Amino acid sequence: MTTNLVGPTDFPASRKSTYLNTAAVALMYRGAEVATTKWFSELAEIVREGQERGEVRATLDPKAVAQILISLLEGFVLQKALDPSVDSTNYLEALDAFLNCSFWQGS
């Protein structure tokens, strides 16, 4: 028998809010925590290597960049889970515009 830690009415706005992701992380099993920490470290290292090659601005904190990249992915995964109709192509197009500084009108 499975015992749920929370019931369906504990988070009434869950279909419209992203705060559940924080709860999910807080309740993560140890293996997921280790994998997430490793993933974060590897992303930060990739950023550092890009800085050394002159591909990434040297003044940026590699850990902060890794956190942003993970947040972008985690946010998309959560949104897709809450609303399966979220269009991956549109998301990637908007993300590309942000990352390539073409989001703003006239840029």
Alpha-carbon distance of 59 to 71, in angstroms, equals 20
Q: Which residues contact 15 (CB under 8 A, 6 or more apart)?
A: 82, 83
Model pLDDT for residues 10-22, shown as the tens digit of each residue: 555 555 544 555 5
Domain chopping of the chain, boundaries: 30-99
Residue-wise pLDDT for 42-64, tens only, equals: 999 999 999 999 999 999 999 99
Answer whether residue 37 shows pLDDT above 90. Answer: no
| Percent of the chain with pLDDT strictly greater than 70 | 68
pLDDT of residue 8: 57
The model scores a pTM over 0.75 = no
* Residue range 30-36: mean pLDDT, rounded: 72
